[in-house]
Amino acid sequence: MLAASQRIRLSRVIAAVAVAAGLVLGLGTFDLQAGGKKSDSQVKITAVGSKIDADGNQNVLITLDINKGWHAYANPVGNPDLRPSQTVVKVLSKTQKAEIEYPKGKLHEDKTLGDYKVFEGKVAIKAAVKRTAGDTSPLELAVTLQVCNDSTCLLPATVKIAVKQILRRTGSVSDRR
């Protein structure tokens, strides 16, 4: 008879194996042959922000440039089983409020997993941020995503990025780091 602590450990191992099997069977294989590449190897991420107004409001445009042949899971992904893999933008800097607006993803029909939505090519994600009073420091974001192609999925990645500020008068970009 197994002790309680051994039963708990065994159940955790069984759960981990079940999750890993589900990922391999349900989401394709992770790209282990390529050295466990992460998803950010197939996506360029940039972010530019408007000048902060007198009330502390700032608009930010986050651009994902996904390499041809790859897709990222949209937000919302439209399939509850894939929700942990959907693209998520978080504002890391201290703010009073941040609203993220994701574009509508392209429908991908899949008889095995069920239908879901993806982002392909250039994708524009908008954020409306209310900064803390007097805060003009660089805004920092984190973008979490997972990309796949027709045969494999890369490991998920979280990319931290500083927002480059667009100066209103000249239209030039300032890299305020």
Domains of the chain, by residue range, sit at 1-28, 31-174
* Contact (CB, 8 A) for 48 and 165: yes
Q: What is the pTM of this model?
A: 0.76
Q: 91: which 2 tokens?
A: 């504002």
Question: For the segment 36-61, what is each residue's pLDDT rounded down to a tens digit?
Answer: 899 999 999 999 999 999 999 999 99
For residue 108, the surrounding DSSP H or E stretch is strand 106-108
Question: How far apart (Å, rounded) are the C-alpha atoms in residues 12 and 10?
Answer: 5
Q: Return the CATH fold of 31-174.
A: Immunoglobulin-like (2.60.40)
The proportion of the chain whose per-residue pLDDT surpasses 70, expressed as a percent, equals 74
CA atoms within 13 A on the CB side of 62: 27
